[in-house]
Amino acid sequence: MKKKPKYKRILLKLSGEAMRGKREFGIDPEFISYLASEIAEAHKLGVQIAVVTGGGNIFRGVAGSKRGMDEATAHYMGMLATIFNAMALQDALEQKGLVVRLQTAIEMKQIAENFIRKKAIRHMEKGRIVVLGGGTGLPFITTDTGAAMRGLELGCDAVFKATKVDGVYSDDPMKNPKAKKLENLTLKEAFQNEKITILDKAAVELCMRNDLHIVVFNIHKKGALKKALMGEKIGTVIR
Ligand code: GTP
């Protein structure tokens, strides 16, 4: 009998960093096309997918406010950056032949539907990929937290956090060569351990309180998303 995927519906969080590919700034269409292929492969398994995009490759709200901007304004600019990425991803997915619905948390009638929870769920049930731009539409909330919120309200089985590292490490693997990879972790440990910063604490807390699992995996490894969905030992599962 054909093995079934471990997850029925997921919320995939793609950071702005992932959109940048090898570039220092902005969008890398080649890399986004690769991301779209990875999502297409995962979708072929029959998994329902909603994607939340970050925006750090274009504008970081936190960085803007550190340089003297009004913080809320900087955050709103960051939200617009996530919509740029969401549009680029929608385009790349559609070019692969997938049916996509773009919804934004900030009203942008000419280019996207408004975020409507039940509509997003219906789209996924009909086999469409839902791309969510604009975070939550509220300042002072990270896209990680926004992803956890959307994951919960859309009834997802897990938040899949795509990163450039292989999972959660005991310390920052880019800074500490002795950092060890953790294959399994509880949500409580991820919340309490200050060295675990792969997702911000507000996002982890939300997942912990609602028992929403988090899977951290390296999106740069071809096939990793599909393998993680099939329950293979890829990345770190936080549950
Ligand atoms: P069903 O209700 O399941 O048939 O979903 P649907 O998305 O196919 O139908 P609908 O008629 O709502 O949408 C048709 C197309 O218009 C889709 O590509 C939607 O994303 C798009 N669309 C719907 N509402 C809006 C909107 O408010 N703004 C923009 N820009 N596009 C929209």
* Angle at alpha carbon of residue 118, lines to 115 and 119, rounded to 5°: 60
Check whether 118 has a pLDDT greater than 90.
yes
* pLDDT of amino acid 125: 98
Q: What is the atom index within ligand 1 of the atom nearest the CA of 114?
A: 27
Pairwise CA distance, residues 46 & 78, whole Å: 32
CA angle 114, 128, 85 (to 5 degrees): 55
Amino acid 60: pLDDT:
87
Kindly tell me if the per-residue pLDDT of 119 is higher than 90. Answer: yes
Cα dist from 42 to 8, 160, 201, whole Å: 11, 12, 28
Q: Which residues line ligand 1 (CB under 6 A)?
A: 101, 109-113, 122, 126
Confidence at 54, pLDDT banded by 50, 70, 90: very high
Distance, in Å, from the CA atom of 172 to the CA atom of 37, rounded to the nearest integer, reads 29
CB 30: neighbour CB atoms within 10 A? 12
Which of these, 83, 82, 84, 78, lies nearest to 63 by C-alpha position? 78
pLDDT in tens, 124-178: 999 999 999 999 999 999 999 999 999 999 999 999 999 988 999 998 888 888 9
Ligand 1 midpoint to CA 107 (Å):
14
pLDDT of residue 132: 98
Give me the percent of the chain exceeding a pLDDT of 70: 100
Atom number, ligand 1, closest to the C-alpha of residue 126: 3
pLDDT at position 204 over 90: yes
* Ligand 1 pocket, mutate which of 91, 93, 101 (most atoms under 8 A from CB): 101
Whose alpha carbon is nearest atom 16 of ligand 1?
A: 113
What residue segments make up the domains of the chain, in order of their start?
A: 9-238
Residue to mutate, 83, 104, 113, ligand 1, most ligand atoms under 8 Å from C-beta? 113
Is 43 within 8 Å of 226 (Cβ atoms)?
no
Q: What does the alpha-carbon distance between residue 27 and residue 16 come to, in Å, rounded to a whole number?
A: 9
pTM of this prediction? Answer: 0.95
Report the C-alpha dihedral over residues 195, 209, 134, 5, rounded to 10 degrees. Answer: 90
pLDDT for the residue numbered 1: 73
* Model confidence band, residue 198 (pLDDT cutoffs 50, 70, 90): confident
Position 65 pLDDT exceeds 80: no
**Which atom of ligand 1 is the closest one to the Cα of 109?**
28
Per-residue confidence at 53, pLDDT binned at 50, 70, 90?
A: very high
Please give the average per-residue pLDDT across 13-29, as a whole number. Answer: 92
Rounded Cα–Cα distance for residues 221 and 234 (Å): 10
What is the structure's pLDDT at 10?
Answer: 98
Region 9-238: CATH code = 3.40.1160.10
Q: Which residues contact 168 (CB under 8 A, 6 or more apart)?
A: 181, 182, 185, 190, 196, 198, 216, 235, 236, 238
Q: Atom 5 of ligand 1 has which residue's CA nearest to it?
A: 123
